[in-house]
Amino acid sequence: MLYNAKNGTLRIGGATIDYIRFGTGERILVMLPGLGDGLRSMKGTALPMAFMYRAFAKVFTVYAFSRKNGLPEGYTTRDMARDQAEAMERLGISKADIFGVSMGGMIAQHLAIDYPEKVGKLILTVTSSRPNPILTESIEEWVSCAKRGDHTALMDSNVRRIYSEDYYRKNNWMVPIMGKLTKPKSYDRFFVQADACLTHDAYESLNYIKAPTLVIGGEKDLSLGGDASKEIAAKIPSAELQMYAQWGHGLYEEAKDFNQVVLDFLRR
């Protein structure tokens, strides 16, 4: 199969976790997605993900994990990090480089703090170590849309807050189509993950992270703010910081050099 892409499911403690795998490299890279996982899991996305991150396929065997299915209310980012550690154990991954985006970066923080032996290098992209006014406003806006069942409004807010003004202006015509095609049967999974973001707080423990760390942020991040990335980099010992002046939360898709920046860090 193209890029050796495969879809998989793990069973952990009575629940299942969807994951994908692609690439043929000797090193292991684990990717943890953002809050979008609350609307759709990684199930069945092996090929598009492998294509999007094909630059990693020769150097790494890449795994990307969803949160477990059937998340109970009150489940935290730290609980999710525990699940992630167990998933790695089940797959025989004793140690990996960890690449967390947005909410995935929150989980990655706890993984690096609580299970340092499992983390090689750490990449924290457009994420936060604790709630801030921009993050809170964004998530409360999305939750409000979901609670009234207005998926088109949720998608519009999502695209507006994640991507650049130019991207939004050119592509907002697609929002009504997205609203119809991507509406989940239930928002329960989304609500649990949104609450986990609002209660995430690893700030005081960031100094315990020993893994070589690259923090990537966007100055125009309308989802959680660029200062959130700067705060993390200042707290983690010897962390490197890469800020994109022209991009926001979706820089991992919009910045043409993003994958290369991550690869260069991992290869050093």
Q: What is the DSSP letter of 4?
A: G
Residues of the chain short of pLDDT 70, as ranges, are 1
Measure the CA–CA gap between 119 and 9, rounded to whole angstroms. Answer: 22
| 246: its two tokens | 């022209």
Q: Kindly calculate the radius of gyration of the chain based on its CA atoms and give it in whole angstroms.
A: 17
Measure the CA–CA gap between 105 and 88, rounded to whole angstroms. Answer: 17
* Domains and their CATH numbers in the chain: 2-130+201-267 (3.40.50.1820)
Q: What are the distances in angstroms from CA 76 to CA 79, 161, 200?
A: 5, 24, 7
Q: Name residue 62's beta-bridge partners.
A: 22, 29
Q: How many residues can be counted in the chain? A: 268
pLDDT at site 2: 77
Please report how many Cα atoms fall inside a 13 Å half-sphere around the Cα of residue 230, on the Cβ side: 10
pLDDT at site 34: 98
pLDDT at site 1: 61
pLDDT at site 125: 98
pLDDT at site 264: 97
